[in-house]
Chain A
């Protein structure tokens, strides 16, 4: 099935009660599939198509606050339009799960794969997972709710798929049974749901000396706690379903590597293929796949790069005026902790192909000790 179908199956298996969304390419086939499941009574959820993404998250945050497990999906400009509500949902400590099909931001209009949309949401208080396969996209919905609803986390989670490369491409996907899913993911038990018998205010205002700063601090602490929850839930998932996503950071052929590329999403798949080829030629290279960008796997990275002679970071996003978003974070995490050059590569913007020869070039630049930031496969020089 396609990535978007796999996501919809994940939502079905997660027993979501309320779905609200606004259509945007390439997210549409997720919400179409869900609307169809609701219409066929395959799932008991209520589906409401609203008039904007801002309203989709506006409806979802309110239903979650009432105690109903809620879901939405979006892409690109839709995610940007939702931005205010992302902060609100996280700040209300609501464990909503959302799918984001990573698509570029205009102008010019472009519907193809790029991660700038979700990178722009990194400070909203949402956990972020970048999936590499359709199977992972399905499994992350189930794991996502369980992580988000952990009592010492209570933060929302967004799960990313690359536009078209996953969303509209078929791959074999193993479907857990509903019974298996139910025993893995219990029903939502929100500790602070709306109750007319206990009338409280949800999200009122705080003066500078009120609880405002402590609430934000508490979100930071919960984000920290989520690292343990992610590891625990990923392990439980592996024990139950036999698929091990190895927590926040995946290591590929890293045990004796001298050089590594750090990538995410489907770019990591191409990277793994190239690593295998280069290994056959005797080059000691590996790959690190960032699954969770929030919380950021800084400790895991420091450990994984120890002993390496150089690394590079591949970004399918751009932060104008600095470098790629992941490059900046990796450099900050490794500063003073690992004495190696960190190259930054920006590639694949607007869905531009990142080819096997591009990966070879990146590995050879890393081996040459390149530590600057550059573009890959872009016209007009570097």
Chain B
């Protein structure tokens, strides 16, 4: 476990903004992501959600699961909708209201990337939360730009051609850092205090904030539903999903106290079961390279 997580000055807020009775799959990481984000932000929050698992999780009309207003938008419109919401709230004198886009990885890395990039570039005081379950899970586990190398999905069926996803994961948080978004962080549901602390830190910045939350998906990653937290933790320990915080031009990477290999990480998820030693070693090299890049960047920015 990352050391600073043990030194947290606060525990997880008790207040709940998510009611029981949602319709997510058992073991869904994305529900925890929403729950923690709302605990960190509190009642004065509006959430905009595009087509995604989270458009379905709250239940069919007239049911709802969240105790904050929820605006549903078409797939590509998250960034645009939080633009309109933010400006309208400011016009109405509700500058303190948190405006949050909460989109999946397909809605962020692929179809919503333009709208996201535009909203971040314009500098609105908004949160964009990408809950990353590494594929189009709501539509039945198709490949997205955020699906990692090696994963099998329904549109990258392995079969005789070994047609798993051969491209590396497009990491939107890295793109946002490159774009110069004032606050960028990664988090995952195995470390809720770290996650909440990042949302709280982000809130102090009166500009665009982007937080990518790895949200393991038992249905699409093919692992037992009780393993969500364990796999979320292993993603960090293996370096598959490094936790970092980029704020005021400085990058801080959280080093896990225990590290494991990519072999350990992929062996507990059937989406990777077809990988041979060479494939795993390809993935390990890419992960090592990315971690090195991040640490270099951390050194460069801390010296500044």
Contacts and interface: CB of A to CB of B under 8 A. Distances in A.
B243 interface: no
Given A58-B79, A62-B71, 17 more contacts: A18-B84, A48-B87, A51-B115, A54-B76, A55-B79, A55-B114, A58-B73, A63-B88, A64-B88, A67-B88, A194-B85, A196-B44, A196-B45, A196-B69, A199-B70, A202-B70, A211-B61
Interface of B: 43-46, 48, 55-56, 58-64, 66-74, 76-77, 79-85, 87-92, 97, 114-115, 117-118, 121-122
Interface of A: 17-18, 20, 46, 48, 50-52, 54-68, 70, 84-85, 88, 194-196, 198-207, 210-211
Given A62-B48, A68-B91, A200 B83 contact: no
Contacts, number: 157
Given A55-B118, A194-B46, A62 B92 contact: no
B70 A63 contact: no
Top 4 A-B pairs, shortest CB-CB distance: A58-B80, A62-B84, A51-B118, A66-B88
Which of B43, B59, B64, B71: most chain A CB closer than 10 A?
B71
Given A63-B87, A194-B46, A54 B56 contact: no
Contacts of B89: 66
B84 A66 contact: yes
Given A50-B118, A54-B80, A200 B91 contact: no
A66 B93 CA distance: 12
A196 B69 CA distance: 6
Contact of B71 (A18, A85, A202): A202
Nearest to A195: B69
Contacts of A61: 73, 81, 84
Contacts of B45: 196
Contact of B88 (A18, A55, A84): A18
A194 B69 contact: yes
29 contacts: A18-B91, A50-B80, A52-B115, A52-B118, A54-B115, A58-B76, A58-B81, A58-B84, A61-B84, A62-B48, A62-B80, A62-B83, A62-B84, A63-B84, A66-B89, A68-B91, A84-B74, A194-B69, A196-B44, A196-B68, A196-B69, A198-B69, A199-B66, A199-B67, A201-B58, A202-B70, A203-B73, A204-B60, A210-B61
Nearest to A205: B60
B41 to A, nearest CB: 11
A201 B70 contact: yes
A314 to B, nearest CB: 35
Contact of B77 (A58, A68, A70, A202): A58
A62 B87 CA distance: 10
Contact of A58 (B74, B87, B117): B74
Contacts of B71: 62, 65, 194, 202-203
Nearest to A54: B76
A196 B60 contact: no
Contacts of A203: 71-73
A54 B77 contact: yes
B55 A204 contact: yes
A55 B77 contact: yes
Given A18-B91, A51-B117, A59 B72 contact: no
B122 A207 contact: no
A196 B43 CA distance: 7
A199 B68 contact: yes
Contacts of B91: 17-18, 46, 63, 68
A161 to B, nearest CB: 25
Given A46-B87, A54-B76, A200 B64 contact: yes
A221 to B, nearest CB: 19
Contacts of A88: 73-74, 77
Contacts of A56: 80
B92 to A, nearest CB: 6
Nearest to A58: B80
Contact of B73 (A52, A62, A63, A199): A62
